[in-house]
Amino acid sequence: MSRFRGAPFELVAVTTITIQDYRSYLMNTLEQKPATINKALATLKTFFGWAVEVGHIAADPASKVRMRRVQQVSSPKWMTDQEINRLSYTLETEKIDFKSARDRAIFYTMFRAGLRVEEVCNLKLTHVDFRREIVTVMDGKGGKFRVVPMYPELKKSLKTWLALRNASEKPFHVESDYLFVTERSGKMTTRSRALRPVGAIS
């Protein structure tokens, strides 16, 4: 974005190539980590998305700019091998659509987006942006947050889960601000997640 320094700034002058150049600058010149780059890109995507919605510009130059891939770990430290195996088995055997869709979405949220249990429980609907394909994770300390890409498996599982969640006959499901709910509550808690493996939460 340095090309605009010292000159009047016009939104229409920013193109997809401009933002791609900025991403390259962060990556190659400043040597920023993928998570930091994604946070900057997410801010731009949000801003230009707003600019389109209010009519300041006709097209969103950030919409086609891809987020950096964040390396995922295969076995998160916060889950044991036994828990991972039990979770995988549950996903294949759960017969209740509501719980099956939710558990699969939780699985991909943790393994593809790298969220911890507490972060999964605290995710809100407003933290999920399907159009920009990002998930915003709040850490609850000083308003800090990070942004993670929404990979295809995660996006598909979240859409499937939300379709069932929003079709629920229970008001506390539909009216809840939180992404994940249980059969008896409008918010999943860390206590319920820690004491009951995914698929057994009720």
Is residue 134 classed as helix, strand or coil in its secondary structure?
A: strand
Task: List, in sequence order, every beta strand (DSSP E) within the chain.
Answer: 128-129, 134-138, 145-149
Residue type, 108: Y
Per-residue confidence (pLDDT) for residue 94, from 0 to 100:
61
Per-residue confidence (pLDDT) for residue 160, from 0 to 100:
93
Q: What is the pTM of this model?
A: 0.59
Ordered strands of the 134-138 beta sheet: 128-129, 134-138, 145-149
HSE-CB of 16 using CA atoms within 13 angstroms: 7
Q: What is the mean pLDDT of each run of 10 residues along the chain (202 residues)?
A: 54 84 86 82 82 83 77 50 65 73 86 81 91 80 74 90 91 92 84 49 44
Dist CA 174 CA 181 (whole Å): 10
Which CATH number is associated with domain 81-175? 1.10.443.10
Nearest CA to 184 out of 173, 196, 198 is that of: 173
Dist CA 1 CA 68 (whole Å): 18
Please name the residues in contact with 85: beta carbons below 8 A apart, sequence gap of 6 or more.
none
- Contact of 60 with 19, CB cutoff 8 Å: no
Dist CA 124 CA 49 (whole Å): 20
Running DSSP on this structure, what letter comes out for residue 148? Answer: E
Per-residue confidence (pLDDT) for residue 62, from 0 to 100:
85
Per-residue confidence (pLDDT) for residue 11, from 0 to 100:
76
Delimit the domains of the chain by residue range. Answer: 11-54, 81-175
Task: List, in sequence order, every beta strand (DSSP E) within 80-156.
Answer: 128-129, 134-138, 145-149
Per-residue confidence (pLDDT) for residue 138, from 0 to 100:
79
- Contact of 149 with 133, CB cutoff 8 Å: yes
